[in-house]
Structure 1
């Protein structure tokens, strides 16, 4: 009997060692896969333009400080006079240009563009005659009157101020001093005035915000009526939104990649919308074949606002070229991602897939990209909850498993216990206590843990 128990214990040790090695290989393979996916995500993020920072302002401050410091070393007695006079010139120019703009607005646009109560104040503010420029010009004039004129003759100082302001107005009106392309882009992005911002918000509020909360229910209903479809992983339960950089969208995904085939449509979602009773929203289910011939089902579609950008780039009157279209697509991706991440109704119910047009030569690039995003969700789920081992009923087997796990731990090897296991029922001899009412305790639990 003793020999038999020793043989069983040795067999359990070998099985525990094999399980430990398999778990080690599985974890290493998972981490290797995640590293590759992180590299691909970094390449994708490298395409997306980030918001512009404050580096130009910092450079301007440093340049002004160096210039003022150099002039103070040369002529410290008149430095404040020069600063006041130059500031007055730079602020009077925009004020004179604002007066020129004001005449146009008052004569031709006061009734069509300005219909508020404070009509005059609104026009003055729109022309730049109220605010920082006016306040700076007043302060510069006061400082110049206090410190005195830096030029030997007062008339020379006055002529210089008037002439510089008038020439600034002329050059500004002729477009010589117009803002650069970078400045215009910064203003449009900062004030959310781009085409991409409008299309992203329209796509969210007019479509995604309506259908994504019902997506999980539609998929569950679809799976109940399609018993043969079993390959629905974690990533397949989200809406895959394809965003190609070239905006060239095909109306059928199978035309782009023959590894993708249409399977069926999800149950229609009917919602009363804008006076239309029972407006129908639908999604299509596709089957994507991997290299081993296994089919993966997912709900996939293109971002329809990209069709608008593509059509605009082919209309000469839109003034929307190929370069501008590409930049707007990237900005659309970034804006839509920020909007959806801040939406409680849409979060964790979508996946944005940016398609780079550098891989157009690969006929299966679309299916590979979709499979990579689907497998990424599966790998993350596998890392967090690996499949649990079956519990052994023999008490000696439990003892042997515990001893083998303990030796592996002391031997600095991987623990053969799974990273997580299915919950088991535990009995307690303590007296029962009162139960609390149901409450949302996810955040509270995370803080304790």
Structure 2
């Protein structure tokens, strides 16, 4: 289980609402302090500050609007309406206009909040104009956290696109056919039939944080042995007749030399992330690449868990880059996942034990499914076949009423 805890510690969680809660708390404390010190002017001061903070974005939005209308109205907006598309894209949305209008109305109803009216007349336009200037120069631009939050919330990251492309263009096509492919493979490879447990009939998808992908797993870890390919999945796709999708079966050797067969492969979209980090024009360095790998893992996990076609047919394996000095790190991780799947999915509780009374150990009327009468008779044998449903062919009988069957025994003393 340590492996799963390590993955949980690496995967970034979606950002929550703590900044909003802190902002509301600070605003409430500040407004409460102003009401305590000067209750007659609190509404005027609050209205003036809101008006300044909304007029600045409105002025900056007008500057953006001039660029969009003059040069990009046809190419970026395809002639869409000015009010419905262009103005909201420039920050001139209904919420900002409504906040500015309500602040102006509240300021008008509150009267003069400042001792000298000329102070307010200078402060309001100056603060708004300086805000628009600093915003245009990037001084008040969004922080990296804000940009990341926007991109994650609106699914605009590179990782989101790659994860959805990997799912729609590949996993959704092959995972529903995986179990049948493994069954066909076992029927043609008699020697490997016993090594395929229920937990291993999944596609292991490797996601290394450093995007270091070997095209042959045996080149990365000599405990891997390429065995064979599963039967090809032939699908007509995007104008290509009989496009072939295939999976490779590997034998992984444990510390005792025993081979464990599984279907394992790397997530191919990580090659795109690695290539982007090697191109200076992409503006995609190593820190950004690592962050995108983690988002790719989280997004793909969420997509596959909500997919009825792919659920319980995959296993994402996140590989950290902290054990690169171990030549057998990859095989250890794979074996740990295989063992975990077998034990957690199918051996959470011991099989039901059939109680056998001691006086009937030597009788010949024991049912065929009873455990052997030996010294370790309490050990249940594994099921000899798959569980099946049994239906009764007898006609249903009517319900009977309650029958008094209490025996009254009058003894003598």
Question: TM-score, normalization: structure 1?
Answer: 0.80
Does structure 1 residue 338 correspond to structure 2 residue 305?
no
* Secondary structure of the structure 2 residue equivalent to 1:296: strand
Gaps of 5+ in 2: 367-376, 398-413
1:425–1:80 CA distance, 2 compared to 1 (3 A): closer
CA contact 1:384–1:419 (8 Å) conserved in 2: no
1:205 maps to which of 132, 143, 168? 168
**1:153: Cα distance to partner?**
3.0
Q: Which residue of 1 aligns with 2:182?
A: 219
Does structure 1 residue 308 correspond to structure 2 residue 275?
no
Does structure 1 residue 91 correspond to structure 2 residue 54?
yes
Q: Which residue of 2 aligns with 1:249?
A: 213
Q: Deviations over 1:211-262 (max 9, x none)?
A: 1111111111111111111311122210000000001101000011000011
Aligned length: 382
Q: Which residue of 1 aligns with 2:78?
A: 115
Q: Which residue of 2 aligns with 1:297?
A: 261
* Secondary structure of the structure 1 residue equivalent to 2:190: coil
**1:386: Cα distance to partner?**
4.8
**1:311: Cα distance to partner?**
0.7
1:101 maps to which of 64, 88, 94? 64
Q: Which residue of 2 aligns with 1:161?
A: 124
* Secondary structure of the structure 1 residue equivalent to 2:126: helix
1:364-403 matches, within 5 Å, as 364-384=328-348, 386=350, 396-397=360-361
**1:44: Cα distance to partner?**
1.4
Separation (CA, whole Å) in 1 of partners of 2:359 and 2:25: 76
Q: Which residue of 2 aligns with 1:149?
A: 112
**1:40: Cα distance to partner?**
2.5
1:357–1:392 CA distance, 2 compared to 1 (3 A): same
1:425–1:218 CA distance, 2 compared to 1 (3 A): closer
Q: Which residue of 2 aligns with 1:14?
A: none
Separation (CA, whole Å) in 2 of partners of 1:281 and 1:198: 21
Separation (CA, whole Å) in 2 of partners of 1:271 and 1:201: 19
Separation (CA, whole Å) in 2 of partners of 1:381 and 1:121: 53
1:60 maps to which of 20, 23, 41? 23
CA contact 1:48–1:331 (8 Å) conserved in 2: yes
Question: TM-score, normalization: structure 2?
Answer: 0.87
Q: Which residue of 1 aligns with 2:373?
A: none
Gaps of 5+ in 1: 1-36, 403-414, 435-449
1:29-68 matches, within 5 Å, as 37=1, 39-68=2-31
* Secondary structure of the structure 1 residue equivalent to 2:191: coil
Separation (CA, whole Å) in 2 of partners of 1:129 and 1:117: 16
Q: Deviations over 1:138-160 (max 9, x none)?
A: 00000000001211233321221
* Secondary structure of the structure 1 residue equivalent to 2:134: helix
Separation (CA, whole Å) in 1 of partners of 2:28 and 2:92: 28
Q: CA RMSD in A?
A: 2.7
Say which structure is richer in helix: 1
2:230 maps to which of 239, 261, 266? 266
Separation (CA, whole Å) in 1 of partners of 2:242 and 2:302: 30
Does structure 1 residue 319 correspond to structure 2 residue 283?
yes
- 250-259 or 371-380, larger mean C-alpha shift: 371-380
**1:433: Cα distance to partner?**
2.5
CA contact 1:388–1:420 (8 Å) conserved in 2: no
CA contact 1:48–1:334 (8 Å) conserved in 2: yes
- List 4+ stretches of structure 1 deviating above 6 A: 387-395, 419-428
2:251 maps to which of 287, 296, 302? 287
Which gives a bigger RCO, structure 1 or 2 (Cα 8 Å, sep 6+)?
Answer: 1
